[in-house]
Chain A
Amino acid sequence: DGGITQSPKYLFRKEGQNVTLSCEQNLNHDAMYWYRQDPGQGLRLIYYSQIVNDFQKGDIAEGYSVSREKKESFPLTVTSAQKNPTAFYLCASSTTGLGSYNEQFFGPGTRLTVL
């Protein structure tokens, strides 16, 4: 089955530690995205990548880093510089064709809690 997987589902981190959230897709999509979801704030874009080895900052990139070495994978690292990392993180992917809807398909999410 084609889709997007995120792991782990739940993640606990001590203050001062970096953690990496995994996102893998087998939809052959060129573009991938990371969002942060907090209560009452909808989805906020952290980083996105439209092609391998290239990515752009979203609205709230501070304290986060990403890599895109493979088309299928777009891991997100939450660094110790992120002041309030406790949140629900969603990964998404999409096609990038001209004149196409390019709707985003989402993974099941990772709930990160800082202890």
Chain B
Amino acid sequence: AQTVTQSQPEMSVQEAETVTLSCTYDTSESDYYLFWYKQPPSRQMILVIRQEAYKQQNATENRFSVNFQKAAKSFSLKISDSQLGDAAMYFCAYRRGFSRNQFYFGTGTSLTVIP
């Protein structure tokens, strides 16, 4: 079974600063997809950013970007200009390719934003 590891249970960042959340995964496959989801206190899961393994270019969505290192099986999330609304649990997720739609989630990183 695939495993996704988030080694930082908790992180904090000053408002307007940059923070990086780590994620590593274990797979023997070459085709797969990676995701970061945000779960604010409302507990509604929201997709933040996604990356396809075949794409070398790192995905970017406004203040959110990833550092995808395929050989190292690493998929970190960088949040720039942190805002109070970024405070949430962040989950890294892996999906196998070829239409196998089962997701594997990490245990999450709780991000606190300090005003």
Chain B positions 60 through 101: 1 when the CB is less than 8 Å from some CB of chain A, otherwise 0? 000000000000000000000000000000010101001101
Contact A103 B44 (CB under 8 A): no
Count of chain B residues with Cβ under 8 Å from any Cβ of A? 25
Count of chain A residues with Cβ under 8 Å from any Cβ of B? 28
Q: Which of A42, A43, A96, A109 contacts B101 (CB 8 A)?
A: A96
In this assembly, does A102 line the interface, its C-beta being within 8 Å of a C-beta of chain B?
yes
Contact A42 B108 (CB under 8 A): yes
Residues of A contacting B99 in the complex (Cβ-Cβ under 8 angstroms) = 96-98, 102
Contact A88 B43 (CB under 8 A): yes
Query: In residues 61-115 of chain A, which contact B (Cβ within 8 Å)?
Result: 88, 90, 92, 94, 96-98, 101-106, 108-109
Contact B35 A103 (CB under 8 A): yes
The residue of chain B having its C-beta at the shortest distance from the C-beta of A56 within the complex is B102
* B interface, CB within 8 angstroms of A: 1, 9, 33, 35, 37, 42-47, 50, 52, 91, 93, 95, 98-99, 101-103, 105-108
* A interface, CB within 8 angstroms of B: 31, 33, 35, 40-45, 48, 50, 58-59, 88, 90, 92, 94, 96-98, 101-106, 108-109
